[in-house]
Structure 1
Amino acid sequence: MPYAALALVGPTASGKTALGIEVARRVDGEIISMDSRSVFRGMDVGTAKPTAEERAAVPHWGIDIADPSERFNAARWAEYARAKITEIQGRNRVPLLVGGTGFFLRALTHPIFQAPELPPAPRARITALMERMDDATVHRWLEAHDPESAERFRHWGGRQRLMRALEVPLLTGRPISWWHRNSGPVEEPVAVLPFVLDVPRDVLHARIDRRIGEMVLGGLLDEVRALIGRYGEDAPGLNAHGYAELMPYFRRERTLPDALAEVGKNTKSYTKRQRTWFRTQLPPGAVWLDATRPRAELADAIVAAWTAGKQVPSAQGQVPKGDRGC
């Protein structure tokens, strides 16, 4: 088999979970979650984790493997996923990577460089300084010390990646882009065949609004309240959409309707950045599929392409040009 794993990616609320289970059943597969928030214990409702029934139907990995108080980055996930891929293959089953965190996938297909060792004490002081800055300030500092990385993280990246990119030049005297070019990768690349679920913007936004309502009915407020009580508002895992926006509500600084509107706005903005990333950063051969088609048809197309080890031979496999409304 030319590929080590099949990957099913797409923006939030594009239908990855249900389709991934359908495909896994057909190819005798096991799912490795590729979601940067589903790794955290206790963050169930707000991350739309697979239900207990769904996990019983198909083995799922990469869920509930860290506490929200921990920092969980792409390198740590890639190490975990490599081990699981090997285990699943050892059972003569197919590994399916399912999720919307593109940086996790890239950590497998483009292994992370050998990071320089950073002195613990100065690093702690710089981290404390950066944590007092807002994202825009951190980005301005990064522009001054590493313009190349600053441009790369202009539209996506997240706060932790911004801080990581800035601490490297501050502590080593060389930008992280230099280390990328001059340090070898930690591991060999993993060959992955990616499928991307493409959803029209209006359909996706309607799904997001509906999902937020379902999360509230499913206990989202109680979940966030309990997590804040246990880990505090500054826990790294709680900066996710659906959690961070509700904190001002619990501080009585924002009404619930306003907080939920903020969740919707930020989630929709995030899906736009996800699609931008998928268009430009996925490995060659990525197959784009119209996610409004029936799930059975999508599963048919994915299974056929996986079995053949090549791209689906139709217009639906073309990477979309432009933003297509997103």
Structure 2
Amino acid sequence: MTIPSLDPARPVLIAGPTASGKSALALAIARAQGGVIVNADALQVFAGWRILTARPSPRDMAQAPHALYGHVPVDGAYSVGHWLRDVAPILQGADRPIIVGGTGLYFTALTEGLAEIPATPDQIRAEADTRIADAGIAALLAELDPDTAARIDTANPRRVQRAWEVQRATGRGLAAWQDATPPPLLPLARTQPLVIDAPREQLNARIEARFDAMIAEGALEEVRANLSRWDPAAQSAQAIGAPELVAHLRGEISLDAAIAAAKTASRQYAKRQRTWFRSRLKQWPRWRPDW
């Protein structure tokens, strides 16, 4: 794989949609220049999903230091605040960090700062859940302040619910909290950022081929091993393919239907990522992979 021209002394940030080759690029850079590869994917942190979230393989992890992969229990909770606390000591280490992932919020929190928003009270969370059950996520979206509604990913129900909970609990919109953020851990000017600019049709083909490879590698068996503790409300349940394969294992749909639904969900997720990157990572240089 051809790698971009980089200063081996400066941190590297690699963002990109699912299946775009981010991990392979990070590993190629680490092999050529050294450094520790740091996960910035909100689902690759969970221990239960190695195959399904496309975490680096044991062979890849043996070729370069890796950090923040699979260190959270599958039934645990993990936020961008947790990730910032985990990544902070890595930034102070001797190895140059190569931070790679598809969770754009991790990158903006790292390079722009994260608002110190109070935790959401349980009763507010329950109220939000009830509202969604009764009227859908659109009911919460309609009540957000205009600045917040214009800033968040309104296609992501969890982001909408989080913004509504903040506004309901604090009386202040999420955008206002974000505008009062402390200094970032790693300002963008100190890094070498890039967004993988993957052609849509080629990316969709890679998404389909990768999910077939996951099934061949044992993704269904991985889901079966986690079935006894499956909780659709858990954060880790957002892993694409997990709900579909759970439905198959419970006899609700065929394996072919589960695979087709998971591929569709992956393509939709990649589209949301590309849209988010265009909106929020405008200053980042684009890099076209040579697959």
**What TM bracket, shorter-length normalisation?**
0.7 to 0.9
Measure how far apart 1:218 and its partner are.
1.0
Which residue of structure 1 lines up, in the alignment, with residue 148 of structure 2? 149
Q: CA deviation at 1:186?
A: 6.5
Is the CA contact (8 Å cut-off) linking 1:233 and 1:247 kept in structure 2? no
Partners in 2 of 1:278 and 1:62 — Cα distance?
Answer: 22
How far did 1:259 drift?
1.3
CA gap 1:131/1:82 in 2 versus in 1, 3 angstroms: farther
Residue 159 of structure 1: how far off its partner (Å): 3.2
C-alpha distance in 1 between matches for 2:185 and 2:88? 10
Structure 2 counterpart of 1:201: 200
String of CA shifts for 1:263-294, please: whole Å, max 9, x gaps.
Answer: 1111111111111222221263x22121136x
Displacement of 1:145: 3.5
Could you say which residue in structure 2 is the equivalent of 1:174?
172
Cα RMSD (Å): 2.4
Using the TM superposition, give the Cα deviation of residue 81 of structure 1 relative to its aligned residue in structure 2, in angstroms. Answer: 1.5
CA change 1:210–1:103 in 2 (3 A) is same
**C-alpha distance in 1 between matches for 2:64 and 2:9:** 21
* CA positional deviation for 1:230: 2.6
Name the SS for the 1:144 alignment partner: coil
1:161-201 CA deviation, whole Å, 9 max, x = no partner? 222111112222222223233x3427555333211222211
Give the Cα–Cα distance (whole angstroms) in 1 for the partners of residues 208 and 247 of structure 2. Answer: 20
Q: Identify the residue that residue 102 of structure 2 maps to in structure 1.
A: 100
**Retained in 2: the 8 A contact 1:27–1:94?**
no
Q: How many residues align?
A: 283
Does residue 57 (structure 1) correspond to residue 63 (structure 2)? The answer is yes
Q: Distance in 2 between the 1:165 and 1:201 partners?
A: 30
From 44, 50, 63, the equivalent of 2:50 is 44
Deviations 1:76-114 (Å, cap 9, x if unpaired)?
112211221112xxx2x3110011111111110111112
Alignment equivalent of 1:79, drawn from 85, 88, 96: 85
1:116-127 matched pairs, under 5 angstroms: 116=118, 118=120, 120-126=121-127
The answer (yes or no) to whether the contact 1:199–1:292 under 8 Å persists in 2 is no
1:190 is matched with: 187
Q: Confirm or deny: 8 A CA contact 1:113 1:186 kept in the other structure.
A: no
Aligned counterparts of 1:172 and 1:193: Cα–Cα separation in 2:
36
Q: 1:2 to 1:172 in 2, by over 3 A?
A: farther
- Change over 3 Å in CA distance of 1:2–1:147 after alignment to 2: farther
CA pair 29-153 structure 1, distance change in 2 beyond 3 A: same
Q: Say which is worse superposed, 171-180 or 73-82, in terms of deviation.
A: 171-180
In structure 2, distance between residues paired with 1:3 and 1:148: 38
Q: Is the 8 A contact 1:9 1:196 kept in 2?
A: yes
Question: Which residue does the alignment assign to 2:116?
Answer: 114
Contact 1:142/1:150 (<8 A) preserved: yes
1:142/1:149 contact within 8 Å kept: no
1:299 corresponds to:
none
Q: Provide the residue aligned with 1:316 in structure 2.
A: none
Alpha carbons of 1:168 and 1:2: their partners in 2 closer, same or farther (altered >3 Å)? farther
Distance 2:114 2:220 in 1: 37
Q: Is the 8 A contact 2:43 2:238 kept in 1?
A: no
Q: What is the one-letter code of the residue matched to 1:6?
A: V
Q: Is the 8 A contact 1:196 1:287 kept in 2?
A: yes
Q: Residues 206, 145 of structure 1: CA spacing in aligned structure 2 closer, same or farther, 3 A cutoff?
A: closer
Aligned twin of 1:31: 37
Report the Cα distance in structure 2 between the residues aligned to 1:185 and 1:211, rounded to whole angstroms: 39
Q: Distance in 2 between matches of 1:74 and 1:161?
A: 12
SS in 2 for 1:194: strand
Distance 1:164 1:186 in 2: 22
Identical counterparts, % of pairs: 31
Tell me how far apart the structure 1 counterparts of residues 74 and 204 of structure 2 sit (CA, whole Å): 27
**What amino acid does structure 1 have at the position aligned with 2:285?**
V
Residue 151 of structure 1 deviates from its aligned partner by 3.5
Contact 1:100 1:274 in 2 (8 A): yes
Give the counterpart letter for 1:163 in structure 2: Q
Distance 1:117 1:242 in 2: 30
> Structure 1: which 5+ residue stretches go unaligned?
294-326
